Structure 1
Amino acid sequence: MKPLVDLTGKRGLVIGIANDKSIAAGCADAFAGCGARLAATYLNEKAKDWVTPVAERLGVEWTAPCDVRVPGQLEALFGEVERRWDGLDFLLHSIAFAPREDLHGRVVDCSADGFAMAMDVSCHSFLRMAKLAEPLMKVGGCLLCVTFYGSERVVQHYNLMGPVKAALESATRYIAAELGSKGIRVHAISPGPIATRAASGIERFDELLTRAASEMPGQQPVDIEDVGALAAFLVSDAARRITGTIIPVDGGQHLLA
């Protein structure tokens, strides 16, 4: 089958593969199918067992640990990118975290520590990655992150992650403005609800999935392949004049929700 776009020779770093059902895995699959060279990360040794089969299936060139909460680990990762590739063409940030007790409670009840951790892992880490990627994107590139429509409207049980994703979307726009002169484009992809391991941490997520399907004009649920197709287009030269966007891939749910 002919690839959606041509990513032959482009070097991409995928951060956030949890297993073969994760959004990052769907994006990596699309990148690889379009000819990109890939590196991927795993959270820790326990998570590595889930990531390795995905990486092997997609022909990922190398993997490395990346827990943004561990001092120096993110810097070491980008040092490895420079050592192995001497450059980078695109990056996908698909990580988020909030302590369970803060995520499952009201936003007004969240702890200062829980809020700070959620913001650090889910938002500030994208800023850190942009800074580290900037000198490696010598002829331009593309930075992607993953958001959710709970950033702009109240979604029951999404709670603390709503304000955090709103911050991530704002950061996306500012990074795009600041790095645009270097040919670096930045986007936040906003999928509809997808049954991933990360999403299972949201209370009563099955109800959110059911409601989302009923709200989509075509009533067809979104899957990781849909997200991957958009991601592959955005990092390609076909999207070279598009930057600073928050793009929904939700079957039109944002029109009616």
Structure 2
Amino acid sequence: MPVNGPLHGKRGLVIGIANDRSIGWGCAQALRDAGAELAATWQDERARPHVAPLLEGLPVTIAQPLDVRAPAQMQALFDAIATRWGSLDFLVHSVAFAPRQDLHGRVVDSSADGFALAMDVSCHSFIRLAKLAEPLMPHGGSLVTMSYLGAEDVVDRYGLMGPVKAALESSVRYLAAELGPAGIRVNAISPGPVDTRAASGLAGFEALLAQAEQRAPMRRLVGIDEVGALCAFLVGEGARSITGDTHYLDAGFHLLS
């Protein structure tokens, strides 16, 4: 951990590391490289073999399982943070899910259960995490989540996740207004399509990647390291007056929508 890194002395939690191609992993690496001490999670026992070795190599101080749908696991994680650290400087939320049948179909055909599950995991989990983080941030802090252009514009075959990410971005604004008096900042990062294993579950994802690379003003895609670099900036002192925004990181692709 760099002694003179810009985040030296900061402690934070990263939720959503799935493997070494995930956006959560890119954020964890950048935050650690900037000097932060980290806590991180894996979703379940099936994910543990893919995540635990990464966390050991980073390394992280606190590593626990967390299914964001499990209140007891979430509470246990924050209890561990309170016991070990006593406070928290930042939280990064990089979690999204929708049932495949609902994700690959039309929004108008989405099931009530599928829509509710996607909203719970992808949006309301961020709100629940914010609620638990708030008392651990008595001197302020930073909360960051991940969105996508489909929250604002209709993106072909992004489907159900469009309305869900729109709700997430709206939640960012409301949380920023509510938590701002306590010095807690809340922001969203909206990367362009990133070649992650999770994103590959979207129908036509390869075509989406190709279109972004061909049409973006900079004629390239973004990588998880770039998302991590922006995340590290947003939780640092240089962004101490930035809150309630969605920050595009897509080589300029959003300008064309």
- The answer to whether the superposition gives a TM-score over 0.5 is yes
Question: Is the contact made by 1:17 and 1:41 (CA closer than 8 Å) also made in structure 2?
Answer: yes
Q: 1:34-92 CA distances to partner (integer Å, 9 max, x unpaired)?
A: 00000100000110111112212211112111101224221111111111111100000
Q: Secondary structure of the equivalent of 1:46?
A: coil
1:59-98 paired onto structure 2 within 5 Å: 59-98=59-98
Normalising by structure 1, we get a TM-score of 0.97
The residue that corresponds to 1:241 in the other structure is 241
Q: 1:76-114 CA distances to partner (integer Å, 9 max, x unpaired)?
A: 111111111111000000001111111011000000000
Q: 1:207-246 CA distances to partner (integer Å, 9 max, x unpaired)?
A: 0000011121110210001101100000001110111110
Q: Does 1:190 align with 2:190?
A: yes
Partners of 1:27 and 1:112 lie apart in 2 by: 33
Partners of 1:128 and 1:5 lie apart in 2 by: 30
The residue that corresponds to 1:177 in the other structure is 177
Q: 1:117-161 CA distances to partner (integer Å, 9 max, x unpaired)?
A: 000000000010111000001110000000000001111111000
The residue that corresponds to 2:148 in the other structure is 148
Partners of 2:215 and 2:226 lie apart in 1 by: 18
Question: Is the contact made by 1:3 and 1:33 (CA closer than 8 Å) also made in structure 2?
Answer: no
Between 1:32-41 and 1:3-12, the stretch displaced more is 3-12
Q: CA 1:138–1:152 in 2, change beyond 3 Å: closer, same or farther?
A: same
Question: Is the contact made by 2:62 and 2:81 (CA closer than 8 Å) also made in structure 1?
Answer: no
The residue that corresponds to 1:123 in the other structure is 123
Paired amino acid for 2:104: H
Partners of 1:255 and 1:172 lie apart in 2 by: 22
Q: 1:177-232 CA distances to partner (integer Å, 9 max, x unpaired)?
A: 00000000000000000011110111110000000111211102100011011000
Specify every segment of 5 or more residues in structure 1 that has no aligned partner in the other structure, as ranges: none
Specify every segment of 5 or more residues in structure 2 that has no aligned partner in the other structure, as ranges: none
The residue that corresponds to 1:110 in the other structure is 110
Paired amino acid for 1:34: A
Question: Is the contact made by 2:145 and 2:189 (CA closer than 8 Å) also made in structure 1?
Answer: yes
Question: Is the contact made by 1:4 and 1:229 (CA closer than 8 Å) also made in structure 2?
Answer: no
Aligned residues, how many?
Answer: 256
Q: Secondary structure of the equivalent of 1:72?
A: helix
Partners of 1:59 and 1:38 lie apart in 2 by: 8
Kindly, what percent of the aligned residue pairs are identical? 60
Question: Is the contact made by 1:146 and 1:189 (CA closer than 8 Å) also made in structure 2?
Answer: yes
Q: Secondary structure of the equivalent of 1:186?
A: strand
Partners of 1:24 and 1:3 lie apart in 2 by: 23
Question: Is the contact made by 2:98 and 2:115 (CA closer than 8 Å) also made in structure 1?
Answer: yes
Question: Is the contact made by 2:212 and 2:220 (CA closer than 8 Å) also made in structure 1?
Answer: no
The residue that corresponds to 1:17 in the other structure is 17
The residue that corresponds to 1:133 in the other structure is 133
The residue that corresponds to 2:160 in the other structure is 160
Runs of 4+ residues over 2 Å off in structure 1: 2-5
Paired amino acid for 2:28: A
Q: Secondary structure of the equivalent of 1:13?
A: strand
